[in-house]
Amino acid sequence: MSLEPRVCVVGSANLDLVARTERIPSPGETVLGYAYFEAAGGKGLNQAVAAARSGAAVAFVAAVGSDTAADSLVDIAEADGISTASIKRVPGPTGRAMITVGDDGQNSIVVIPGANGLVDPAHVQVHGPTVARAQVVLAQLEVPITAVIAAFEVARAVGATTVLNPAPAVELPDELLALVDLLIPNEHEAERMGGVDRLRRLGIHTVIVTEGRRGCRVFDASGERRVEAFAVEVVDTTGAGDSFCGALCARLAAGDAIDAALTGANAAGALATTVVGAVPSIPHSAAISDLIRLDGRGAPPT
């Protein structure tokens, strides 16, 4: 009998403020928009929700501010059964993304990290025992790199798997590179970091490049191979990458081998494109299993 799969996510939580307008205003210009909505976001929260919906027990190490957005983000995490005991509350604003979407599909985004900027090594260390209980520790780069390093050090000390989704893409310090078992960039991020060959030369054991409707490619000690995407009716690709990362980590924590876990991750990413938004589009394990079965790839390993 295997242990309960446990994933710890260290990352951001944002409230997304989304305005729809015919076209994005130029500097100094005011335009009238025609729709507005608010939604939970931030790569950390999205990926925590994705791992939880894929069946893992998830702890979320994060920070929110002292405003009403803080309560709604914590409520959203709890609604998916995520442990929020490691979310600290700090004075000031919760992270926000102000997103303007034009009718041509273009967008312009201002992210105010707010509380996310205060996820620091000290906070990670306070919750070290929580991090150490997970089989997989997953992080992105929307919180300070020093906090990610601190979390991965705890993970390494207990033999947990460290997974980094390097978004937004930045030059990774050597100290962090040395702590990453699995790196999951999309094509643009992989390119901005100098390509897969360089990343593997720098010592990362497994690099998984997500390639949208072409699925993903994996590069590890067994060589390079593609795991095909699932054919779905695409409505909105927001949340695909986050669903992929969270689902992959839940499956790795459950003991799946990498290729089986990637099939589940591709199915999760595909399903996320069939529903508008990020958190609402993140699929549960039952839907993921159904898609894998329907596609004829056999029953997913448990």
Two tokens at 293? Answer: 């079965």
Q: What's the min distance (Å) between Cβ of 25 and ligand ADP?
A: 26
Kindly state whether residue 215 participates in binding ligand ADP, applying the rule CB under 6 A: yes
Sole residue written with tokens 């300070």: 144
Q: Does 46 bind ligand ADP (CB under 6 A)?
A: no
Q: Pick the catalytic residue: 16, 80, 242, 256?
A: 242
Q: Which stretch binds ligand ADP (CB under 6 A): 105-113, 135-143, 218-226, 228-236?
A: 228-236
Q: Half-sphere exposure of 20 toward its Cβ, with a 13 Å CA cutoff?
A: 8
Task: Return the residue of 240, 260, 288, 291 that touches ligand ADP, per CB under 6 A.
Answer: 240
Asked if 254 and 265 count as a contact pair (C-beta separation under 8 A), the reply is no
The answer to whether 69 contacts ligand ADP (rule: CB under 6 A) is: no
| Residues near ligand ADP (CB under 6 A), total | 19
Question: Among 94, 266, 281, 285, which residue sits at the site for ligand ADP (rule: CB under 6 A)?
Answer: 266
Residue closer to ligand ADP (CB basis): 162 or 186: 186
User: Does 193 engage in binding with ligand ADP (CB under 6 A)?
Assistant: no
d(C-alpha 293, C-alpha 145), whole Å: 39
For residue 213, state whether it binds ligand ADP (rule: CB under 6 A): yes
Does 152 sit near ligand ADP (CB under 6 A)?
A: no
Whether residue 259 lies in the annotated active site: no
CA angle 203, 52, 288 (to 5 degrees): 90
CA atoms within a 13 Å half-sphere pointing along the CA-CB vector of 180: 28
For residues 150 and 136, give the distance between their C-alpha atoms in angstroms, rounded to a whole number. Answer: 15
Q: How far is the CB of 65 from ligand ADP (least distance, A)?
A: 26
Strand order in 14-21's β-sheet? Answer: 33-41, 14-21, 95-102, 107-112
Burial of 212 (0-12, 13-18, 19+ CB in 10 A): middle
Residues with catalytic annotation? 242
| Contact residues for ligand ADP, defined by CB under 6 A | 186, 210-213, 215-216, 229-230, 232, 234, 237, 240-241, 244, 266, 269-270, 273
